[in-house]
Amino acid sequence: MAPLGAEITGAEDADGEAASVATNEEQRRQSAALTNAATGKATAHQPGTGEDRLPSQPVAAGKELVLLADPGNSGPIMVGFDSATVPLSKGTGLSFGVENAEALVASAGNDSDTLHIIGEQPEEA
């Protein structure tokens, strides 16, 4: 396992094939595009120092939720499903194929650190 705050240098898709890693610039571009979409939503959340479940934010079918650690944070934010074990260094992010942000938990080293929750909302019927 990489040390906390280590840069992610490789990724695999669901079939175990090599996949490109989004750079900070690419993540910001995607975030801006989602936020500007009519169904896009971005929420700034400040997880506590314990493992807090993320607030409810539904995700459109076939879309992914992006979690982005604020570049001004004091250190990494830990995220995960049942326990927060994956570090997000300042200014980095990951995407998750979940139906709702509340499927994830997060923990910060400082109560004032911010995690941006970005995703496309389901269209209303």
**6 occurs within a structural domain:** no
**Parent domain of 58:** 13-120
Spatial separation of the C-alpha atoms in residues 29 and 9, rounded to whole Å: 19
Query: Long-range pairs for 7-16 at CB < 8 Å and ≥24 separation?
Result: 7/89, 7/92, 8/92
- Tell me phi and psi for residue 75, to 5 degrees: -175, -170
User: Is the pTM above the cut of 0.95?
Assistant: no
Q: How many domains does the chain have?
A: 1
pLDDT at 23: 67
- What is the DSSP-derived secondary structure letter of residue 28? H
CATH classification of the domain holding 89: 2.60.120
Reduced to 3 states (helix: H, G, I; strand: E, B; else coil), residue 60 is coil
pLDDT at 41: 83
pLDDT at 94: 93
For the chain, 125 residues long, the average pLDDT of each consecutive 10-residue run is: 53 66 68 63 89 93 92 94 93 93 95 91 72
Of 36, 102, 37, 38, whose CA–CA distance to 65 is shortest? 102
